Amino acid sequence: MAGVGGSCRLTTLFAQYVQQTRAQNSFSSNFSKRMLLLKVEDNLRKSTFQIPLHQSDCHAFGMPREGQHVHGGVIATVVEDATTMHICANDARSRKAVTTDLNLSFLGVGKIGRTLQIDTTILKIGGVLGVAEAYVKDASTGKLIAVGRHTMMFIGEDNSATEYAHSLNSVFDV
């Protein structure tokens, strides 16, 4: 993990995300290998992630002569992963959470070979629900590509969010 140093809750969950997605060979493992947590600010209320776009992120119907465009599902996954970590990092009880609502509005296109910047902001952390918003931009131009809002419901016992990471044996080479 490059970018943010220190040991705030979000950097801890980000390190767990990278390790866990690779150990489980999960759907998000393709993204966790490239995603960076760049900064956390405003008392853990704001964060910035980046991910470079690769050919494998391309929409199947994009024509090379038109420029390869990232698939909307890639943007949705990256937004969900970033806001999930951010919401869970802000839960004082460190519980697991599940998505109850995720919505995105696409305002532009991400192009292969460019880097996306995902700025997330916590809107609310309550006893049952957490809500965050995300702004997805082209990192070099600042052009807004998508905006989204993610609502999660906290589940499980206190301190269950990091339970899996503690059970991982060091034999995993991730």
Whole-number pLDDT of residue 9? 82
pLDDT digits over 24-60, tens only? 777 778 888 899 999 999 889 999 999 999 988 887 6
DSSP string, 28-53: THHHHTT-EEEEEETTTTEEEEEEE-
Q: What is the distance between the alpha carbons of residues 1 and 97, in angstroms, rounded to a whole number?
A: 23
pLDDT digits (tens, 9 = 90+) for 122-172: 999 999 999 999 999 999 999 999 999 999 999 988 887 766 555 444 444
The predicted-structure confidence for 75-130, as pLDDT tens digits, reads as follows: 999 999 999 999 999 999 999 899 999 999 999 999 889 999 999 999 999 999 99
Cβ-Cβ contacts under 8 Å for 152 (sequence gap 6 or more)? 83, 84, 87, 88, 97, 98, 99, 100, 129, 130, 131
CA distance 98 to 174: 25
